[in-house]
Structure formats: structure tokens, C-alpha cells
Amino acid sequence: MTTATSSPASALDAHLDAGARELLADTERRASEVFAPLARRGRDGEVDRALLAALAEQGLLARLLSRDAGGWRSEISALALCLIREGLARWCTAAETAFAMQGLGSFPLLQSGTREAIEEWIPRVASGEAAAGFALSEPQAGSDVAGLALSARRDDDAGGWRLNGQKTWISNAPDADVYSVFARTTPGAGARGLTAFLVPGGAEGLIGHRIELVSPHPIGTLVFEDVRVPPEYVLGEVDHGFAVAMRTLDMFRPSVGAFAVGMARAAIDATIAYTSEREAFGGPLARMQAVRHRLADVATRVQAARLLVHAAASAYDAGVSPTTEAAAMAKLMATEVAQEAVDAAIQLHGATALRRGHLLEHLYREVRAPRIYEGASEIQREIIARAMFARTEGR
Ligand SMILES: Cc1cc2nc3c(=O)[nH]c(=O)nc-3n(C[C@H](O)[C@H](O)[C@H](O)COP(=O)(O)OP(=O)(O)OC[C@H]3O[C@@H](n4cnc5c(N)ncnc54)[C@H](O)[C@@H]3O)c2cc1C
């Protein structure tokens, strides 16, 4: 809620309270002044250790993972997660991705891990010393999680479990120091026969390969050859790994939309600046109504998507359950609209935006993937439709 003493700078932020607005402004300042210059020195497709350390030093990782007398926990709200991701993405997509992956990779451990495993790994993830990964997708099972095949069988001789199979499209692989891995413990049981495990990146029998993407995202494949996992590295109950994955993804889904919104806002900012300067037909491009209206349309749609994202996150924080439909709407609209915004920004810049190294060339390559990961747009539409029809049937 806003108060008279903390009025927002813009009506577009009036739905956020003063603390939320400050979090967004503070994140944007750190992203532009600290993370963006650092990220320019990183190597494409590899985990940027210096950036991870900076995310810790600047206090961002402490927002994800913090410690009190009761042990390690995450106190971050879904809305705060969205504001941080939006603020980082507006200035530095590499910092955004690094930040998001520390959360996505470590939340299954934090939420469902044993005390020993938490004490061993969470401090290292929180300090930026260890990079985390979330390993769900497989070569034969992406959207259809019930089809996961990487096998985990009990190893009665050595104690614990043995993992065999492959994961692919795993962000931060093969550089990550620790992964949350979802494996099949009961064949033929669909989503009900999965278990979550913690697997260190250096585990014997774990082999990783990089995948080069259109964007500079660190990502790869993991091959498990009889990888031993001790019993204390089982996350949650055996055969209940799907719920472990969903608890993390439910928290993160609106924030994928926030990442997209941050990129869209960066594209709009750049286009306002460019079209105000660029002269054509006797004056700046920005005086032409076609240019101004295109930008106005895009900005309106981005703000609508942003409000959906913030509303879905706020519903999650308020304990409304389920928030799946609202989160799906937010992710769907924000990722689709962000693609349109970046495309429009490129059109209004002309050729210069397509030059390698231009911000918009970078955003064009970055904005595509969020429409596919953490539930492709078609999956989000299916979730929304299912909820709508179920409501109608219930009447
Ligand atoms: C940059 C990036 C980062 C990623 N990071 C991770 C990560 O860290 N961890 C991880 O586990 N995975 C990660 N992934 C993988 C991602 O989650 C999968 O790509 C996604 O789940 C889709 O799976 P798929 O690519 O196998 O496509 P498929 O499941 O084969 O689907 C292909 C296409 O078919 C359509 N489709 C699928 N199902 C339906 C349906 N029911 N109805 C209608 N249409 C449908 C959609 O258009 C979909 O895009 C990442 C992917 C990318 C691109």
C-alpha cells in the first residue's frame, strides 16, 4: 500500500509499496553500476564466478538465502523475487540469470533437504562460491515431466542410490558445483515415481558437456554413469520428487515473466533514447506518429504484463492456493509481449540494432528462450484452459 509520505515517482508503480519500489530502484542501481560492467568481462556460455561473488557482496544472494537461529531459510517473497529479476534484467541479463539460477538450483535443497546437506551446500551457494543447477529436462522429456527416465536405483551394498541416464538443457551445466536432480525411482509411475536428489558437480561418474545457444546463457548436458548418491542427499520423500520440483517452479514461474518484463523495458528505454536523437525526413524519428504510437502500444502491453506478474506473485505471497492459473497467465503474457517489444524496438532502430554487440541484438537473442523454458507458452495456455473449464464444470 502507498502512503502520502511515500508517493511513487510514477503511477505505473503505484501498486507497489515504498519498500518494493526501493528494492526495484536499488537493484537497478547495482545492476547498472556494478553488475553490467563486470558481466562485460565474462565469457559467453560459462558460469561467471566474479559475477556470482558480486551478487553475494552486493547483498542480492542474501535476499534469496539467509540464516537465523533456526538455520538456513529463504525469506524472499515471490514479489521481491520478481522485482529483483525485473531490475537486473533491465540492466544486465547475465546477472539476472546467475541470480535466478542460484535460487532455482538451491530451493529444492533448502525446502526439502536434510539438515546436513543444507549446512554443507547452502552457505556456499549463498556466498557465490558454489554455482547451483536445476536438472529436470532430459533428451526425451521436456514439457512432459511424467516421461522422465533418468534412473535411480537403491544401492544396497554401498548404501544410498545409483543414478544412470542423461539430463539436457541444464542451465549452469557443466560448470555448476551442485545440482538438484529429478530421477525415476518407480518405473511406469509417471510423475508419481520421481525422487529429487542432490548431486555435486564433481561426483564420480558425472560427465558434462556444454551446449552453445543463440544467447550467451551457460547451459549443457549431464551424463550420469552409475553416480552414487548418499541417503542424506535425497531431497524430500522417495517418489515425491515431482512435488519438490513443483514447489520450486510455482515460486519461480511469475518471476520468469519479470525477467521478460525487465528486458522489454530495456528495449523501450533504448528506443525512446534512439528515436529522440535519430534524424530522418527533417527531424527526429520520435516526432512521427507511427513511431510514437508503436512505442505507446508496446509500453501499454508491457505494463499490463508487468501488472499480471506482480499480481500473480502477490497472490502467491498472500497464501492463495493454487496460484497456477494466475502464474501461467503472467508468464505467458510477459514472455510473449517481451518478444514483441524487442522486435518493435529493433524495427524502430533500423539496421543499427542488428549490429553484433548492440543491446537490442543481445536482447533479441535473450528474449526467445523464456517462451520455452519453465513451461512453454502452449503449456501455460493448457494450464489456464484447464483451470477455466474446471471452474465451469464445478458450477
Ligand atoms: C535457455 C534455456 C534454459 C533452460 N534451463 C533449464 C534448466 O536449468 N533445467 C531444466 O531442467 N531444463 C531447462 N531448460 C529446458 C526447458 O525446460 C525445456 O526446453 C522445456 O521444458 C521444453 O521442453 P523441450 O525443449 O524438450 O520441448 P518439447 O517438450 O519437446 O516441446 C516442443 C514444443 O512442442 C510444443 N508442446 C509441447 N507440449 C505441448 C502441449 N501439451 N500442448 C501443446 N504444445 C505442446 C511447445 O511448442 C514446445 O515448445 C532450458 C531451456 C532453455 C532454452
Instruction: Tell me the pLDDT tens digit for each residue of 198-225.
Output: 999 999 999 999 999 999 999 999 999 9
pLDDT bucket at 5, cuts 50 / 70 / 90: very low
Ligand 1 neighbour 369 (Cβ under 6 A): yes
Render 115-149 in DSSP notation, one character per residue: HHHHHHHHHHHHTTSS-EEEE--BTTBSS-GGG--
pTM of the model: 0.96
Across residues 320-346, what is the average pLDDT? 97
Ligand 1 neighbour 387 (Cβ under 6 A): no
d(CA 247, CA 242) in angstroms, rounded, equals 9
What domains are defined for the chain? 4-131 (1.10.540.10), 133-240 (2.40.110.10), 243-393 (1.20.140.10)
Q: What is the pLDDT of residue 60?
A: 98
Inter-residue contact 313 to 79 (CB < 8 Å): yes
In the chain, pLDDT over 90 holds for what percent of residues? Answer: 94
Average pLDDT, the chain: 95
Task: For 64-102, write each residue's pLDDT tens digit.
Answer: 999 998 899 998 999 999 999 999 999 999 999 999 999
Inter-residue contact 346 to 77 (CB < 8 Å): no
d(CA 54, CA 49) in angstroms, rounded, equals 9
Q: Which of 225, 232, 374, 393 is catalytic?
A: 374
Ligand 1 neighbour 365 (Cβ under 6 A): no
Active site residue 374: yes
Ligand 1 neighbour 169 (Cβ under 6 A): yes
**Which residue of 199, 372, 380 sits with most ligand 1 atoms within 8 Å of its CB, as the best mutation to test the pocket?**
372
Ligand 1 center from residue 380 Cα (angstroms): 12
d(CA 107, CA 249) in angstroms, rounded, equals 9
Task: For 117-145, write each residue's pLDDT tens digit.
Answer: 999 999 999 999 999 999 999 999 999 99
Residue closest by Cα to atom 30 of ligand 1: 142
Q: What is the DSSP pairing of strand 71-73 with strand 66-68?
A: antiparallel
Ligand 1 neighbour 378 (Cβ under 6 A): yes
Ligand 1 center from residue 342 Cα (angstroms): 22
pLDDT bucket at 395, cuts 50 / 70 / 90: low
Ligand 1 center from residue 111 Cα (angstroms): 24
